[in-house]
Every structure is written in structure tokens, then in C-alpha cells.
A and B are shown apart, each in its own frame.
Chain A
Amino acid sequence: AQKITQTQPGMFVQEKEAVTLDCTYDTSDPSYGLFWYKQPSSGEMIFLIYQGSYDQQNATEGRYSLNFQKARKSANLVISASQLGDSAMYFCAIQGSSNTGKLIFGQGTTLQVKP
């Protein structure tokens, strides 16, 4: 069984500052992938970043980076230079090794960026 835990229901950050959204996971699969999605108030799910369990380096995509600590089973999302448009719900998710595409999601974190 796989599980994702996001312990921060809500976060505030000042515009232009960096913010870290926490995510811990549990899995018995030897190989897995970790995803972060953004959901603005419009409801669409926007893919942000992916980290494979065997990737040697932490994933980065523009202002998004993933702080992957395998031994601690954590995959925190770091957003640098926050913008007002970053205000949204953020979901961490895990995909196992079966390649069905099935994702198990965390509870989500609502981020509000203050001007």
C-alpha cells in the first residue's frame, strides 16, 4: 500500500519569497515516482514536477524544485520567488512500479501568496 501525507493544510508566503511545501510518503515498492500538481481556483490539475526514486539528482522545473530525501521518505516542493499566480492548492502524489498510472494523492496544501 502507498500513502502520501501533507501536514500543512494552509500556508502563507510573501510575494517574491521562497516557500517549501511538505510531503512525506510511504511505499513498499522498490521503484516509484513522486509528482506535484497545482490546482488553481478554476479546478484544473496542472502538473508541476516529477521525481523518480532512482534519480540521482533532485528534479527542477523553472521556479519549482523538489527536495527529495529518500531515507526520510520526503519529497518537499520548493517554490522560489513566489508570484501572486502561485496561490492555489498543491497536491503531492506517488505512483508505484506497476506503470498503471495510478496515483495516490495527499490531502493537499493551500498556498496563499501575499502582495
Chain B
Amino acid sequence: DVKVTQSSRYLVKRTGEKVFLECVQDMDHENMFWYRQDPGLGLRLIYFSYDVKMKEKGDIPEGYSVSREKKERFSLILESASTNQTSMYLCASYDRAATNEKLFFGSGTQLSVL
């Protein structure tokens, strides 16, 4: 069974802290994504990666960076957390070899920045 695992379900951090959100997939997928979900705005793409060490900005990359040192792991980094980054963060992976394949999502990390 395919699996995308996000390390934390709930996270509370303070303003200015450096925050790491981790995501691991066991499907050998090339592409991985970080989305942010806010009420009334749906899911918005922050960054995605199409290979190890390769990344591309999504629609709202400001205030975030990413790291992909290994194929199975994609990390989202908040360099200096701010209260407006309080949100649900969803990681997803995609099998580029398949056609019209769906995204596989992790269960999400609810981040609160105080």
C-alpha cells in the first residue's frame, strides 16, 4: 500500500523559530509537493521537486524553502516562522511514469506559530 508520511500531525512553534516539516514517501516517486491549506483558499502550492536536489517554486514560495537530498524525502523549511504561516501543510507525491495519475497525500501537519 502506498504511503506518504508526515513526521508530525500537530506542531506548535514560536515566532522567529526555524521550522522543519518532514515528508517521506515509499513509492519511489520522482515528484513531490508541499501545499498549504487555509479556510476559503483551498490548497495552494508552495514548492515542488521533480528530482533529487531539483526544486521549483509554486504559487506562494515566500518565507519557505525546501530540501530534497534523497528521493524519498522532501522537507519544507520555514527559516523564521511567522504567525501568518499558521496553517495546515500537506505533502504529496506523484509517479511521473504514470499518465494522469493522482497525487498521493500525507495526513497533514497542523502548524501553529505563536
A-to-B contact residues, CB < 8 Å:
4, 6, 9, 33, 35, 37, 42-45, 47, 50, 52, 91, 93, 95, 99-108
Contacts and interface: CB of A to CB of B under 8 A. Distances in A.
A103 B102 CA distance: 9
Contacts of B44: 105
B40 A101 contact: no
Interface of B: 31, 33, 35, 40-45, 48, 50, 58, 88, 90, 92, 94-96, 99-103, 105, 107-108, 110
A95 B100 CA distance: 8
B40 A9 contact: yes
Main secondary structure of the interface of B (DSSP, over half): strand
Given A33-B100, A44-B107, A100-B96, A107 B42 contact: yes
A40 to B, nearest CB: 11
B42 A108 contact: yes
24 contacts: A4-B42, A9-B40, A33-B100, A35-B102, A37-B105, A42-B107, A43-B108, A43-B110, A44-B108, A45-B103, A50-B100, A52-B100, A95-B100, A99-B99, A101-B48, A101-B95, A102-B48, A102-B58, A103-B43, A105-B42, A105-B44, A107-B41, A107-B42, A108-B42
Nearest to B110: A43
A52 B100 CA distance: 8
Given A45-B103, A95-B100, A100-B50, 16 more contacts: A4-B42, A45-B92, A50-B100, A99-B99, A100-B31, A101-B31, A101-B92, A101-B94, A101-B101, A103-B45, A104-B45, A105-B35, A105-B42, A107-B40, A107-B42, A108-B42
A4 B110 CA distance: 24
Contacts of B110: 43
